[in-house]
């Protein structure tokens, strides 16, 4: 029995909203990885009091009126930190510069900057579509924004800009993306209305209306998926994962895993802090390939790496359709997945924006180049648990971004098995 780390998406959002609250907040089971620490560090520079992020400890946050930071905000490897902060900074009347590590500086920011500019924020690019950049916020206009892509980060940036500016916003997406921002705002009593893939938010006139709150953050579905795949690759046994967030916008991977033959049972379904939560009981099964449709991708884009390595051990072919967004994650995950699967003896190819993986290969053997991407490193570490596997990684530091105790938990599962 094991509890994966706190949900990364919810941790970012809870820290940011707590930094604006009118009183002290307490957050339990926060993610303590490097990405969450990047958000906490930035919020401290903006004037909030954010306690240390330590495993097993609640984090106490005391909000404040944000002031211009004395130096550039360093967002590390965290796209969520950069993009959501842009939304919040859009409603503050001072200039802020943001940057990140080499990987983050390559990731697109214009997708967030465009709607914020339409609301009235001034955003100055330094080297094209990415970081570093500077934003000067102020009085914003309401917006009804038609997003060209399903992106929780774009949607959340606009909703948070509406919150701090006190203006109504509507975001329409081509498909439903993760809805943690809407759920958290609704849990705190704000007027958020969701109809299909359209969200309308009518905030009060000032950000000081964020009330003090306590929040218990569920375990991260993305992190849990790696452990589910470990259990699926095993020759027998059972794995229980506790308190996993089973938000419907995040459980696409569970649907795919079930189609592939993995036995997954949800127990003790409940709602915690506005989010659905359950314990997952996982048993291996006879694995077969499947097709992951374009419509499913928004609900599992971060889980493609573990699903892809599992597909290499299944019978038949698996095709992941329309996963081109993987090219602009922490690395070019699409290319790295195919290249590394071939490096360990599997058959894999990129076909346009599709990833095609053939199963039935001999036990994986070889060296993997992670690109310093946490999800690539974790996926191939998981593949290395398959019977007869001998997989080595180019580095093992990157999982600390989202799952600091990943290797410890991986070894614990292996020992229990």
Task: Note whether 264 and 257 are within 8 A (CB).
Answer: yes
b/e map of 335-357 (b: 16 or more CB within 10 Å)? ebbbebbebbebebebeebbbbb
Residue in the structure block whose two tokens are 């990885």: 33
- State the Cα–Cα distance between residues 210 and 187, nearest whole angstrom: 11
Residue 302 among the catalytic residues: yes
Residue 179 dihedral angles phi and psi, to the nearest 5°: -115, 30
Name every residue whose Cβ is closer than 8 Å to that of residue 411 and which is 6 or more positions away in sequence: none
Q: Which of 91, 5, 76 is nearest to 41 (CA)?
A: 76
Of 179, 279, 302, 409, which is the active-site residue?
302
Strand pairing category for 365-368 and 390-393: parallel
Starting at the edge strand found earlier in the chain, the sheet holding 347-351 runs: 291-292, 317-320, 354-358, 347-351
Q: CB-side exposure of 377: number of CA atoms within 13 Å?
A: 22
Residue in the structure block whose two tokens are 């093992």: 396
CA 290 from chain centre, in angstroms, equals: 24
CA 273 from chain centre, in angstroms, equals: 18
Annotated catalytic sites, by residue?
A: 302
């Amino acid at each position: 029995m094991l509890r994966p780390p706190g949900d990364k998406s919810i941790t970012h959002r809870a820290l940011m909203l707590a930094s604006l609250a009118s009183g002290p907040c307490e957050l339990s089971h926060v993610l303590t990885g490097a990405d969450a620490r990047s958000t906490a560090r930035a919020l401290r520079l903006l004037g909030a009091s954010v306690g240390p992020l330590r495993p097993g400890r609640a984090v106490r946050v005391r909000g404040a009126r944000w002031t211009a930071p004395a130096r550039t905000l360093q967002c590390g490897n965290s796209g969520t930190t950069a993009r959501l902060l842009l939304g919040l900074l859009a409603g503050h009347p001072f200039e802020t510069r943001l940057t990140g590590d080499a990987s983050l500086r390559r990731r697109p920011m214009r997708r967030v900057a465009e709607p914020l500019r339409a609301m009235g924020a001034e955003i100055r690019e330094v080297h094209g579509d990415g970081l570093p950049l500077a934003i000067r916020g102020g009085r914003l206009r309401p917006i009804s924004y038609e997003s060209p892509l399903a992106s929780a980060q774009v949607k959340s940036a606009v909703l948070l800009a509406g919150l701090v500016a006190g203006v109504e916003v509507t975001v329409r997406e081509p498909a439903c993306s993760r809805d943690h921002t809407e759920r958290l705002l609704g849990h705190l009593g704000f007027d958020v209305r969701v109809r299909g893939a359209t969200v309308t938010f009518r905030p009060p006139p000032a950000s000081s209306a964020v009330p003090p709150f306590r929040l218990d953050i569920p375990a991260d579905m993305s992190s849990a998926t790696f452990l589910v795949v470990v259990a699926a690759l095993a020759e027998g046994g059972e794995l229980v994962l506790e308190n996993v967030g089973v938000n419907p916008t995040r459980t696409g991977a569970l649907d795919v895993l079930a189609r592939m033959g993995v036995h997954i049972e949800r127990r003790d379904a409940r709602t915690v802090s506005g989010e659905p939560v359950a314990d997952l009981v996982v048993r291996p099964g006879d694995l077969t390939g499947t097709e992951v449709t374009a419509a499913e991708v928004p609900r599992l884009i971060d889980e493609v790496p573990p699903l892809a390595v599992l597909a290499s051990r299944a019978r038949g072919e698996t095709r992941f359709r329309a996963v081109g967004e993987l090219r602009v994650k922490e690395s070019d995950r699409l290319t790295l997945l195919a290249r590394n699967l071939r490096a360990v003896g599997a058959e894999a190819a990129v076909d346009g924006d599709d990833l095609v993986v053939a199963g039935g290969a001999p036990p994986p053997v070889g060296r993997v180049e992670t690109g310093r991407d946490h999800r690539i490193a974790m996926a191939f570490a998981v593949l290395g648990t398959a019977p007869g596997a001998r997989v080595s990684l180019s580095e093992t530091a990157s999982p600390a971004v989202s799952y600091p105790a990943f290797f410890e938990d991986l070894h614990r599962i292996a020992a229990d098995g």
